[in-house]
Amino acid sequence: MKAIKNILLFQLILLVSCTSQNRKTEKNLAAEGSTSYSGPIIDMHCHAFDQMFFGGQDYTNPLTGKTYKASSTIDSLRIETLAKYKEHNVVKAMVSQGELWFDHAPEKIIIGNSHRYSVEELRERFKIGKLKVIGEVAPNYQGILPTDESLTQYFDLAVELDIPIGYHMFPGGPPGGAYFAYPRTRAFQGKPLQFEEILFDRPNLKIYIMHAAWPYLEDLKALMYAHPQIYVGLGAICWALPKKEFQSYVKGLVDAGFGKRIMFGTDQMMWVETISDGIEALNSADFLSVDQKADIFYNNAARFLELSEEETKRHKQE
């Protein structure tokens, strides 16, 4: 009888052990098969304001039906945006008018400013450490094309200072915005092949096209094929477009071989929940591996911005 009890006890231990091992194996396989990215993120398109943007109004996206609640004040916009960054491990952000937030998060904020300043003013800001990116440059709201002579000096300044320039293409404003908010904006202005001669004249220009020039995918692929220095940002389109359309556009760029030159961005403006939605829209793209998401969320921007090896190592350890 004792021998039988010992055999039964041994079988029970073996059964528990096998069950536990199977659960561990299933857990490991699930982890290995996961494509969710949880590492550091760089946001290449953010905004600070010295007055309420869009009248401080909530925004209902007509393409998705989702309503985004606006921050109540410019101070709450900063506080809420930085809190979202902490929640999602956003370690760096290119912030237009970033000097307004810099003292609150100096390790995180990359100060950007645009052609609303003269070249001389931007040069002086650079000298005192208050300019790291010329951007967001968005003259299309005034109906000005990138080939306009008035912009030549800004491209030249970016080369002179050896800093990036972030250039806004289409989409410009909300759907139908030309009929009420931006009457000089035209859809054709978003065609990225306008940059051809600008790039040939300045092969060392560090430039990224904001909003990835949606919807001009084929033109953008041609430009990126011809000009290896071109990068793109995903600001706004990661939440303003329906998720399926956004992911399809990213897939088109990745399938064409340009996955190493796509950078994440939010273009959060007054609506901080767009940060979470933009991150989720990219992270849920099942055609991307974890490594490909790591490139888009962090590695590509770190390389474009020429972050030090020490800083990138610290970001990934944190």
Task: Give a yes or no: residue 261 inside a domain.
Answer: yes
pLDDT at 34: 65
Residue 140 lies in a domain: yes
Residue 287 · residue 247 · CB < 8 Å: yes
Tell me, yes or no, whether 21 lies in a domain: no
Mean pLDDT of all residues belonging to the chain: 91
CA terminus-to-terminus distance, the chain: 59
Ranges of the chain whose pLDDT falls below 50 = 1-33
How does pLDDT run across 38-76, given as a tens digit for each residue? 999 999 999 999 999 888 999 999 999 999 999 999 999
Q: 0.85 cut: is pTM over it?
A: yes
Number of H helices, E strands in the chain: 12, 10
Domain around 126: 40-317
Spatial neighbors of 254 by CB under 8 A, at least 6 apart, are 262, 287, 288, 292
The type of residue at 221 is K
pLDDT of res. 12: 41
288 in a structural domain: yes
Q: What tokens appear for 177 in the block? A: 């915005």
Total domains present in the chain: 1
Determine the pLDDT at residue 54: 84
CA distance 312 to 108: 13
pLDDT in tens, 221-272: 999 999 999 999 999 999 999 999 999 999 999 999 999 999 999 999 999 9
Tell me if 85 is assigned to some domain. yes
Q: Across the beta sheet with 165-168, what order do the strands follow?
A: 41-47, 90-96, 109-113, 133-137, 165-168, 207-210, 230-233, 262-263
CATH code: domain of residue 228: 3.20.20.140
Assigned domain for 207 exists:
yes
